[in-house]
Each structure stands twice: as structure tokens, then as C-alpha cells.
Structure 1
């Protein structure tokens, strides 16, 4: 799958249905139930663990008075956000997988010593 490719819900349902040999309707119902579970659990302060993928939890981001990008004075209000933490296995796969070797050279911000 290409890095810039966003998997649509229909495509995810089709892929999962073919992988586990279940009807698309059943897979769609499971995804819908998962979404509803997350929507009910997170506002109550509960964590949601997705086995093999990671954990979703809510965090409180306190009010900030300065813009971290520009340093200018700007008030960002306190807000509740959702934080995703990948499992160790997924994080290791990302760090050692093909993504790392293809993406990091393009993201380097250091000047090349040969350019001077």
C-alpha cells in the first residue's frame, strides 16, 4: 500500500471480509459496533485497547498562552483530546520496516555537509 493512500471504509470492509472469510455485512456490523464502543468509552474517561494495534485514551491539554510555532502571544484554550499509542510490536515494525528507509531520507532537516 502506498504511503499517501487513504483506505476507505468500503475498501477496509472488503479487505477484512476476504481475509477472514466472512460476509461484508458482518464485517461492517463489527466495525460499526467498534466505533460505537469507542464513542461511548472515551468520553467517560475509559481507555480502549485495540489488540495488536494500540490504545486510545483521552488526555487534557491545558491552556497555552504562547504559540509554540511563532512564539507570539496567543491563547489556546484547555481541551480534551484523543491520544493513540501504538503497541510495541507495531512501533518496532514501523521503525524497522520499509517505511523508515523510504520516508526518513526525505524528512531530514539537517544540512548535507557536502553542500557547503
Structure 2
């Protein structure tokens, strides 16, 4: 599949739009219901993300569903670090980000 869409993936300008350098950012996916749907787990995930960017001083892009983002926003006791950013990405942009990332953080076995 990646080979089939290689041209579209390569044409993605997401790294330019976000002003990213190769191997200079983290990419995260959160989509499993057991993590996305439970407030305590979301809170622990955000705390962990904040810790990662504090240690490495690199931007971290969270590719998440809008519903998950709104549930994170409703946690009044949590603040995300300024280097933690939430975005929705199309498939081609996401794969392009994966190709240029320092490290992917995920709970998925397919990323």
C-alpha cells in the first residue's frame, strides 16, 4: 500500500507547513478506546507527553481523533506543554511525518 501511494506521500508538504526538520520531533497516536475513552488514562498520557518534551526539548505531534482531543480539553486539571501539539492528519501527511520523525510513540501495533 505504501508503495502504491508513494508519490502522494512524497508530495505531502506537512513538514514544510509545520516547519519541521528531519529527526527533530516526536509523533504520537492515541486511538484505542481503553486509552482515549478513560479520563485517568488520558491524564497519565498527557503527563507522560509533557515529560518527554521536557526531557528532549523537541516538539511532539499528537495525531488524534477530534473526539479524543475534546475529551482531553475537558480535563480541567491538566495543562499540556507548549511543545505538545494536537493535529488531525490525512493518511499521506501522517505517513510523511512517520518517515521523517525521530520516534513514534503509539499504542498501535500497525504504526
TM-score (norm 1): 0.23
Return the structure number with greater relative CO, CA threshold 8 A, min gap 6: 2
Q: Which has the larger radius of gyration?
A: 1
TM-score (norm 2): 0.24
